[in-house]
Amino acid sequence: MSRISTTFQQLKACRRKALIPFITAGDPAADVTVPAMHAMVEAGANVIELGVPFSDPMADGPTIQRSSERALKNGVSLRDVLDMVARFRKSDAQTPVVLMGYANPIEAMGGEQFIAEAAKHGVDGVLVVDYPPEECEQFAASLGAAGIDPIFLLSPTSSDERIAKVARLARGYIYYVSLKGVTGAANIDTADVQKMVARIKSFSDLPVGVGFGIRDAETAGRVASCADAVVIGSRIVQEIESSPADRVLDNLRTLLRGFRAGMDSQ
């Protein structure tokens, strides 16, 4: 059983939901990423989504776009991201890490080499935004064979056919994008989220994580009442962007503890 599946199983037994924060590797500086990962775990994170910086992050709003720009200016590559995971693993062998990004860096390295390196460095899941399930069956199978969970996105406009396809290929959890548009958008409708989560679960037994548009503890709590996980990205990256260098880790802990409290209050 993968670290991701084990984590969700343990949380379910405790009647708790997973808090999944996203940060971009290398933002605000390469040497901050691993300490930030540990700080988020200390504050209640259950799974970490680690963004691989890319020059054209099409699904991301301006906040995460800027974080990729900063990371790239810091010279952070896919190999550096893998090394960060390996350093994190030296003192945390339990918390799952999911790499989230785009196809170009993976294809530049080579898909099979990337999978081998990801497994060696301690990656638990991979979500490639621009690898639709229809076009990456072999990639997903190769990830699974290496013990890495392929994670896929679904959206409010996903058809039953797409949901069934994702349900067949996905492992670990399914990421439901709760809004039409890019990351950082607003006005999440919890009733709509509840309906879509139920619809996804009619096709799959996997946990469903919900992200996009969750910016405060109250919203995180409402989403946690109907989903298995709450994914928070832009709000965290915004906190990193606005924090003085000597306050980044403390501010991250404070922010994540607030989200964790909001989720646990349900």
Q: What is the pLDDT of residues 220-255, one digit of tens each?
A: 999 999 999 999 999 999 999 999 999 999 999 999
Q: Let me know if 218 is a catalytic residue.
A: no
Mean pLDDT of 176-196: 74
CATH of the domain at 59: 3.20.20.70
Q: Let me know if 27 is a catalytic residue.
A: no
Q: For the chain, how far is it from start to end, CA to CA, in angstroms?
A: 28
Q: What is the pLDDT of residues 149-182, one digit of tens each?
A: 999 999 999 999 999 999 999 999 999 998 755 4
Q: Which domain holds residue 205?
A: 3-264
Residue 185 pLDDT class (50, 70, 90 cuts):
very low
- Of the listed 31, 42, 56, 60, which one is catalytic? 60
> Any idea how long the chain is?
266
pTM: 0.95
Residue 104 in contact with residue 80, Cβ under 8 Å?
A: no
Cis omega before residue 28 (within 30°)? yes
Say whether 124 sits in a helix, a strand or coil.
coil
- Of the listed 27, 49, 117, 228, which one is catalytic? 49
Q: Which stretches of the chain are DSSP H helices? A: 3-13, 33-42, 62-73, 78-89, 103-109, 111-121, 137-145, 160-169, 190-201, 217-224, 234-242, 248-264
Whether pLDDT at 9 is above 50: yes
Q: Find where tokens 């606005």 sit.
A: 242
Residue 233 in contact with residue 59, Cβ under 8 Å?
A: no
44 Rama class: left (phi>0) / alpha (psi -120 to 50) / beta: left
Total domain count for the chain?
A: 1
Q: What is the pLDDT of residues 202-225, one digit of tens each?
A: 999 999 999 988 999 999 999 999
- At 140, list the tokens: 């997903």
* 8-state DSSP, 3: H
Burial 224-259 (b: 16+ CB within 10 A, else e): bebbbbbbbbbbbbbbbbebeeeebbebbbebbebb
Cα dihedral 90, 151, 255, 213, rounded to 10, equals: 170
User: Residue 102: how many CB atoms within 10 A of its CB?
Assistant: 22
